[in-house]
Amino acid sequence: MERLSARLLSWASLIDEKTLDQAHTTARMPFIHPHLALMPDAHLGKGATVGSVIPTLGAIIPAAVGVDIGCGMIAVRTQFTRSDLAGRDLAPLREQIERAIPLSAGRYNNKVVATAQPRIDELEALAEKNGFDPETYAKNWRLQLGTLGSGNHFIEVSADELDRVWLFLHSGSRGVGNKIATHHIAVAQRLARQWWIDLPDPDLAYLVEGAPEFTRYIRELRWAQHFALLNREEMMDRVVRQVSEFLGTPVDEQERINCHHNFTESEKHFGKQVWVSRKGAIQADAGRPGLIPGSMGTASYVVEGLGNPLSLNSSPHGAGREHSRSAARRTFTHDQLREAMTGIEFRDTDAFIDEIPQAYKPIDTVMADAADLVTIRHTLRQLVNVKGD
C-alpha cells in the first residue's frame, strides 16, 4: 500500500497517470472521510476511478457507484470434478447455456419463466415499498431478469486446484439499472448547476443526505442492487439446470457465493457513519467470502476478506483494464485471442478481441497487490466460456 496523499491510498502497483489524476480529483471532494482507497485493479472510469472505494459523509456521488448498479459475481461449487467432463465435447454445453440465457446488449427473455416469477414478485413488492415504479425506467424490466448483457460479463464453467467444477458468472442490473443510474446522475448535475456548485468534473455531482433527491436515489439504488443480485441467482439456476442435463445428474450445490462490486452501503469507518461507494471493488470484511475474476482466458479467485481497515474492508473486483476497447481492437488480433483461449471452449469470434487477456492487467499482479486485503481460498481455471457480443 502507498499513501499518495492524506486522502488517497493506493494498492495498485500498475497504474497510469490519468487514472491517478482522476483519483486525486475525487479524493479532494470535501466530504471524503477519511480517504479514498484505490484497489490494485484501478483504471480510468466515468467521473470516479473504476476500482476505487469512496467513503462520503452526508452525500453520495451517483457516478461513483456506476451505471451498472449492483454489478457483481456469483459462483457455485458443484460435486463434479474435471474428470466428469474429460473427453467430452463441451461445445454442446456452451450452446445449451447460450440458448437458456439471453446474451448481449438489448437481448431479453421472451416471457417470464416459472423460476423467475417469484423473484419478479419480490422485486415488485420491494418497488412498492420503496415508492416507485420500475416501469417508468424500463417497461420490460421483468423480461430483463435472467439475462447476461455484454462487455466483460460472462458465464464460465471452471475447475479449481482440486479439480472440483465451479459455475461462475458476472452481471448486473441490466438496462433498468443503467437507466436508474443515468437518471440520478443527471439529477445531481442539474442540482449542481442550480446551486452554482463548482465541480472539477460534472460526473462528480453529488446528492446531499436529507434532500428528497438523495432519499429517492437510495430507495431506487437499493432496488436495483437487489435486482442485480436476483438476476445473477436466476441465471445461475439456469446454468445449473443445463449442467445437470448435460451430465445426466442433478447438480449438488456445495457452496454458493453472490457479491456486488458496484454498490453503496452505509457503514462505520474511523469513528464515522459514512456511505461507502465501491465502484469496481468488493466488500472484504474479515471472513467474508468473495469472488475476483480474471480476464477472459485467465484464472479467477474465490477469496476471503481480511478486514483491512485502511481499505475500508474492501478488495479488487477483477483484473482492471490496461487498454480501452478501441485500443485493444487496434492492438490485438483474432489469432492472438484464439491463442489465449487455447484449451477453453468458447464462441470463436472476433467480437471478443477487446476482451483478450492482454487488454487487462495481469491478474497475478493484482492478486499479489491484494495480499493484505484477501486470502485466496481457491484458484479457478476456465473450461467453458460464454459471453455476449
Q: 129-144 burial, b if ≥16 CB within 10 A, otherwise e?
A: ebebebeebbeebbbb
**Residue 188 one-letter amino acid:** A
317: CB partners within 8 A, 6+ apart: 39, 41, 51, 72, 73, 261, 278, 280, 281, 282, 292, 293
**DSSP string for residues in 287-351:** T-EEEE--STTS-EEEEEE---GGGTSEEE-S--BSS-HHHHHHH--HHHHHHHTTTSB----GG
Beta-bridge mates of residue 62:
none
CA atoms within 13 A on the CB side of 220: 26
Residue of 184, 317, 323, 334 marked catalytic: 317
What's the rounded Cα separation, in Å, for the pair 376 and 303? 4
Alpha helices in the chain (DSSP H): 17-27, 62-65, 82-85, 91-100, 117-130, 141-144, 174-194, 212-247, 325-331, 334-340, 363-369
Residue with cell 463434479: 80
**Cα three-residue angle 164-168-173, rounded to 5 degrees:** 165
Closest by Cα among 230, 238, 247, 317 to 39 = 317
Looking at the chain, how many residues does it have? 389
For the packed helices 174-194 and 212-247, what is the interaxial angle rounded to 10 degrees?
Answer: 160
Q: How far apart are CA 213 and CA 187, in angstroms?
A: 8
Query: d(Cα 64, Cα 389) in Å, to the nearest integer?
Result: 26
β-bridge partners, 272: 269
Q: Is 317 a catalytic residue?
A: yes
Q: How far apart are the first and last CA of the chain?
A: 37
Nearest to 108 by CA among 263, 221, 231: 231
**Catalytic residue IDs:** 317
